[in-house]
Amino acid sequence: MSLPGPTRDAIVERLRTVIAPGSDKDVITLNIVRQIALDDGVARIEFELPPGAAPFQEQLRSSTAAALQHIPGLRSVSVECTIRANRATTSMPGVRHVIAVGAGKGGVGKSTIAAVLAVGLQRLGFRVGLLDADVYGPSIPKIMGMEDMTPTGDEHGRIHPPEIEGIRVMSMGFIVPPDEAIVWRGPMAQKYVKEFLDRGAWGELDFLIVDLPPGTGDIPLTLAQSIPLTGAVVVCTPQDVALLDAVKALRMYQKLAVDILGIVENMSYYLCPHCGHRDDVFSTGGAEKAARDLAVPFLGAIPLNVAIRVNGDGGAPLSNFTRTEPFVRDALESIVKALVAQVEAKSAQRSPLPQLRIS
């Protein structure tokens, strides 16, 4: 007596066990299954993925094939992925995602992390812009190696940001001499942010990373009220004093209805390059515990490392990914990928993909 052949219902049930990469939900719940075809024991599954999910295609194919391989009577499985066309999620034409990078206090490496995220996203194939909105201490030109560059204007009054390593960058540091103090009241700082948001010729971007000043003042409020942010990343160091201020920044974003994409723990630990001894200079794990207690994502921890400091002072951000020790590169790449996963998960929640079609 022959065994019954596979059914579409059996395939759907097994697909409910396949967790979409970068999410905590299965592919059926997320509505990313575009088609299930079944013919003579051969199944073909087609997924429609959000833009930017290309790095996760192979992982999804493997997990789907593994989930379906034990269905009785199923002889083979073919998994196809298509990427949904870009769709802007902000009021800035051509810009899909605007990510704010903030901190509750200064000195935690917020601008360094903003540059790391911009470079890391560009390395993944995304189109990236970086806006230095830290008016009173613009350090992005130094970190990015762009101190001699300036923006240009056109006949339409648009401001064209200079570009390096494929990343478009705008900063008050391009306009004001580095040794000149910027003494502005809140309204002037707010106007600066709006000028470069409204008049900046950013072009087509997948991500615009915005490096905010520390604290919970005028500029973060202006940014959140000017455009719908995709979300915010909060940077802190692990000691209790820094975490207290980081929680305040996080609460500010929540009050402004801005999604928290995650917390990054910077200067998390120090590994001696000579003997390999680990020293938790500022304690460690505090940010991860805070993220867990506050029910927000923890994107990862970055070590206290001389190379990161040298690359920042030398304006060589790409070197953080190419000329540092493997554990440093792994930490940076992991945080960038975790951010992408959070953004795509949030996008899927806001804009459900096409419904499952059984044919």
pLDDT tens profile 85-121:
544 455 678 899 999 998 887 888 899 999 999 999 9
| Rounded distance between C-alpha atoms, residue 214 and residue 74, angstroms | 57
Asked if residue 77 has pLDDT above 80, the reply is: yes
In the prediction, which pLDDT does 99 show?
A: 95
Q: Is 289 left (phi over 0), alpha (psi -120 to 50) or beta?
A: alpha
What is the DSSP-derived secondary structure letter of residue 323? S
Lowest mean pLDDT among 135-139, 222-226, 264-268, 300-304: 222-226
In the prediction, which pLDDT does 350 show?
A: 59
Structure-token match 């790449």, residue found: 333
Enumerate residues 6+ apart whose C-beta is below 8 A from 199: 157, 158, 159
Domains in the chain, ordered, with CATH?
A: 8-85 (3.30.300.130), 95-349 (3.40.50.300)
What digits encode the pLDDT tens for the residues 112-169?
999 999 999 999 999 999 999 887 778 899 999 998 898 988 887 888 999 998 999 9
**Pairing state between β 205-211 and 95-102:** parallel
What mean pLDDT is predicted for residues 277-303? 86
Quote the mean pLDDT of the chain.
83
Cβ 161 vs Cβ 168: under 8 Å: yes
In the prediction, which pLDDT does 123 show?
A: 93
What is the DSSP-derived secondary structure letter of residue 101? E
Cα separations (Å) of 56 from 20, 37, 72, 222, 349?
9, 22, 28, 35, 18
Count other Cβ atoms within 10 Å, centred on residue 148: 9
Give the length of the chain: 359
Burial label for 94, CB within 10 Å (0-12, 13-18, 19+), is: middle
Asked if residue 198 has pLDDT above 90, the reply is: no
CA of residue 51 relative to chain centroid, distance: 13
Sequence-separated contacts (24+) of 247-251 with Cβ below 8 Å: 247/104, 247/290, 247/294, 248/104, 248/216, 249/102, 249/103, 249/104, 249/214, 249/215, 249/216, 249/220, 250/104, 250/294, 250/296
Asked if residue 3 has pLDDT above 90, the reply is: no
What mean pLDDT is predicted for residues 71-76? 87
In the prediction, which pLDDT does 307 show?
A: 92
Cα separations (Å) of 85 from 52, 130, 189, 230, 353?
10, 23, 36, 18, 11
What pTM did the predictor assign? 0.72
In the prediction, which pLDDT does 135 show?
A: 78
Task: Decide which of 298 and 220 is more confident.
Answer: 298
In the prediction, which pLDDT does 337 show?
A: 95
| Rounded distance between C-alpha atoms, residue 110 and residue 261, angstroms | 15
Asked if residue 42 has pLDDT above 80, the reply is: yes
Enumerate residues 6+ apart whose C-beta is below 8 A from 235: 101, 102, 103, 108, 109, 110, 113, 246, 263, 264, 266
In the prediction, which pLDDT does 299 show?
A: 96
